[in-house]
C-alpha cells in the first residue's frame, strides 16, 4: 500500500529558518573531549546546588548550557556517591535522565525505579521526584532539561 504523504525533510525551509534567527557571535561549535572517569575537558565539576538542603554527596557538570549556546536545552552530568541523593522536588519543566554509570534509584511521583546502564527515564512537569544511590558504586547520569526553566519547589 502506498503512503499518502511521503516521508521527507524540507532542508530549504529549515535552513531559511536558521538564517532568519541570526547567528550569535559567542555561540560556536565545540568538542568537549572525555578525559576518562566521567570528566570532560573544559568542564568544571560544580556543587549540585548553591545552597544547602536535603541532598547529599552529589556533583554536577554542565556539558551544554553554560557557554552561551543558543539551544533550547541543557545537558548535564550528575554523579551521586554511595548513599547520596538529589533533592526531593517538583517543578514545571521536564527532565530526561539517562543512566551512564553504575545504577541508581529514581522516585518519580509515587513510583520507584531502578536505573541501570542506558535506562532512560522521562520525568513529566510537576512530578515530585528524587534520584538516589543506595548502592556501593557511583551512580552517574546525563540529564536533559529546558534551557529556560523554573526554580524547583523542595518537598519534605
78: three-class secondary structure by DSSP:
strand
Q: Are 138 and 80 in contact (CB under 8 A)?
A: yes
Q: Is the dihedral of CA 113, 119, 124, 129 positive or negative?
A: positive
Is 143 catalytic? The answer is yes
Which of 71, 85, 99, 143 is flagged as catalytic?
A: 143
Provide the annotated active-site residues. 143
Amino acid at each position: 500500500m502506498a503512503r499518502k504523504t511521503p516521508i521527507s525533510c524540507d532542508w530549504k525551509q529549515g535552513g531559511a529558518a536558521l538564517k532568519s534567527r541570526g547567528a550569535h557571535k559567542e555561540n560556536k561549535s565545540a568538542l568537549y573531549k572525555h578525559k576518562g572517569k566521567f570528566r570532560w575537558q573544559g568542564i568544571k565539576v560544580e556543587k549540585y546546588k548553591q545552597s544547602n538542603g536535603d541532598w547529599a554527596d552529589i556533583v554536577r557538570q554542565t556539558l551544554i548550557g553554560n557557554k552561551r549556546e543558543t539551544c533550547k536545552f541543557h545537558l548535564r552530568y550528575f554523579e551521586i556517591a554511595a548513599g547520596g541523593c538529589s533533592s526531593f522536588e517538583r517543578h514545571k519543566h521536564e527532565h530526561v535522565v539517562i543512566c551512564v554509570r553504575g545504577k541508581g534509584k529514581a522516585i518519580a511521583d509515587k513510583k520507584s525505579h531502578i536505573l541501570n546502564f542506558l535506562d532512560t527515564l522521562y520525568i513529566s512537569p510537576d512530578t515530585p521526584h528524587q534520584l538516589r544511590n543506595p548502592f556501593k558504586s557511583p551512580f552517574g547520569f546525563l540529564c536533559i532539561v529546558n534551557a529556560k526553566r523554573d526554580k524547583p519547589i523542595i518537598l519534605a
